[in-house]
Structure 1
Amino acid sequence: MLTLQRNIILALLIAAAAAAWALLVRQQTGMDAGMRMASPTMGMTAALFLAVWLIMMIAMMFPAAAPMILTFHQVQSGKRGRGQAFVSTWVFVAGYMLVWTATGVLAFAAAAGAEMLAGYVGLSGATAARIGGALLMAAGAYQLSPLKDLCLAKCRTPIGFILTSWRDGQWGAVRMGLQHGLFCLGCCWLLFLALFPLGIMNIAAMAAVTLLVFAEKTFPYGELIAKVSGVALFLYGAAVLVFPQALPTFQPMDAMMMN
């Protein structure tokens, strides 16, 4: 019975992620290329940006969060089997998604602020690309940092998280979801920030980040994968500082004027 329940939850997580990817591809194909690549907010309202952001998080984070979600369900099923109070796994997932909802609000505020500042200062395409290169270097450096190691260790050991962070009841499950979401955010926030210079609706970049997050959280040598990716991001960002045309969102001045 437990195996069947785990398989159903896993199938639902995979189906949700697949549906989210399909929506993202559809959104990208229906969006003007210049706006998609040149504007951090992609010309969206706050509500639409947040909706797209949540779809992105479902697509990109559900595969990596699945082991933790399934472990939570396993423990809750054991409690129900012993006649103890049972909390639905989706309460934990709701707490987890609250973290990414709040992050989306902050992301829109930062993107809108960056657009206003860029318009006020009048950045050239090369300068904007070099700022993006600096963000990529920061993301790469963070991959090598002790804080990244700490958050990744928490995300890679679901049983360890359960043993140290368990809370009973509905609000306890929400709190656990929030806490695990914060550890995931600690692992990935600069990788998501790197999507802005790469193109927030760049499907190839999103797929690469998704694979990286999944690999570093679930593969046997995930810590090493995180370090290697950090070096690669840092070197790529440094190359963009020298050759801003290497950034996929780079636009010459005439293209920026047209947009």
Structure 2
Amino acid sequence: MPDAFSRKSWRLWNLRGMPLGLLASLVVLTAAAWALTLYQTFSMDMPMGIAVRGGMEGMEGMAGMAMAGIAADGWSLAGAAAFLAVWTVMMAAMMLPAAAPMIFMFAAAQARREQHVAVPTWMFVAGYMLVWAAAGLLVYVLVQFGSEFATSLDPPQRSKWAPLALGVTLGVAGLYQFTTLKHICLSHCRSPLAFVAQHWRDGRVGALEMGLRHGLYCFGCCWALFAVLVAAGVMSVAWMLLLTLVVFVEKLMQRGRRFEGALGIALIALGIVVSFGAIEMPWMGG
């Protein structure tokens, strides 16, 4: 499969046919998503960390992002909508930087085929974000079940089982780094030129379909890393920036197998020590 970051790919990836407004709007969208996410983070009244802290003050876990009362109030359509909105904004902030090469490649290919670039490109982005929004629904369900289960335990039981649950999640994320599915999904994400050439669809509906397909590959790359975030109940600036950097580096490295392997080993090792209670999940306040 062609390497999107080979010299040939970089020559083909020219943005001269793209409207400057499209580039600027993508930057503005990403910046706005980060601004909203940071605002929500700093406006939180309580710290998070359901997996290791085990106390009632951390019970909200992921639900505390903007929905401090979601877990306590139980299942509700309004709560799900609020969770989904905040989750999608956070995913836009964290994932659009890594998706930018693919978006630009699509726009450049669209510009070579016809004059209309902006609308199909935004349809592509919409399809991509729809996948992460759908993932947010799954996260909401997991948060609710997790909160209900944690609430049913007394504090000593939570202190016992929470590190084990987080350690297992870390271990699974580490092992996933070595799977064939991870490598297949990551190869598609690393090769925008090959993806566009293999999966091109004309028209706005085709652009939406391509965005959905790329979103699925991207989800296949990153779901395990975000599972750690959800399991730890962490919503700090430092953790978000770290995870954004990890995803960005992993996707944009020409030969990232060493990085993938090193990350996998680190996650497995961290999972082991957390499971046995040797350390708490490293906390970076935000």
TM over 0.5: yes
Letter in 2 for 1:104: G
* Kept after mapping to 2: 8 A contact 1:148/1:187: yes
- 1:226: which partner in 2? 260
On the 8 A contact 1:140/1:233 being kept in 2, the answer is yes
Work out whether 1:66 is the aligned partner of 2:81.
Answer: no
* 1:136 paired residue number: 170
Contact 2:169 2:271 in 1 (8 A): yes
Deviates more, 1:204-213 or 1:214-223: 214-223
1:97 is matched by which residue type in structure 2? M
Match of 1:127 in 2: 161
1:16-72 CA-partner distances (Å, limit 9, x unpaired): 222222222221121122456522322342222111101111111000100110111
Gaps of 5+ in 2: 1-13, 51-57, 71-78
Q: How does 1:235-254 map to 2 (within 5 A)?
A: 235-243=269-277, 245-248=279-282
Is the 1:73–1:89 Cα contact (8 Å) retained in structure 2? yes
Q: Percent identity?
A: 42
- Distance in structure 2 (CA, Å) of the matches to 1:208 and 1:223: 19
Taking the aligned partners of 1:86 and 1:49, their CA distance within structure 2 comes to: 29
Q: CA deviation at 1:223?
A: 2.9
2:128 counterpart of 1:96: yes
1:136-215 matches, within 5 Å, as: 136-215=170-249
State the alpha-carbon separation in 2 of the partners of residues 206 and 136 from structure 1.
16
Q: Is the 8 A contact 1:198 1:205 kept in 2?
A: no
1:12 equivalenced with 2:44 (yes/no)? no
Per-residue deviation, 1:217: 0.7
Any stretches of 5+ residues in structure 1 without a counterpart?
250-259
Whether the 8 Å contact between 2:174 and 2:263 is mirrored in structure 1 is: yes
State whether residues 98 and 178 of structure 1, in contact with CA within 8 Å, keep that contact through their aligned partners in structure 2.
yes
Q: What pairs up with 1:31-46 in 2 under 5 angstroms?
A: 31-34=44-47, 38=58, 39-40=60-61, 41-42=63-64, 43=68, 44=70, 45-46=79-80
Q: Provide the alpha-carbon RMSD of the alignment.
A: 2.3
Bigger helix share: 1
Question: Using the alignment, how far apart are the partners of 1:7 and 1:232 within structure 2?
Answer: 41
Residue pair 2:127, 2:210 contacting (<8 A) in 1 also: yes
Whole-Å separation in 2 of the counterparts to 1:36 and 1:9: 38
| TM-score, length of structure 1 as denominator length | 0.87
Cα separation, 2, equivalents of 1:230 and 1:181: 22
Residue aligning to 1:253: none
Deviation at 1:12, TM superposition (A): 2.6
**Contact 1:133–1:197 (CA<8 Å) still a contact in 2?**
no
Residue 6 of structure 1: how far off its partner (Å): 5.9
Aligned residues: 247
Alignment-mate amino acid for residue 145 of structure 1:
T
Q: Which stretches of structure 1, 4 residues or longer, exceed 4 Å deviation after superposition?
A: 84-87
- Equivalent position of 2:142 in the other structure: 110
One-letter amino acid of the structure 2 residue matched with residue 24 of structure 1: T
**Bigger mean CA offset, 177-186 vs 220-229:** 220-229
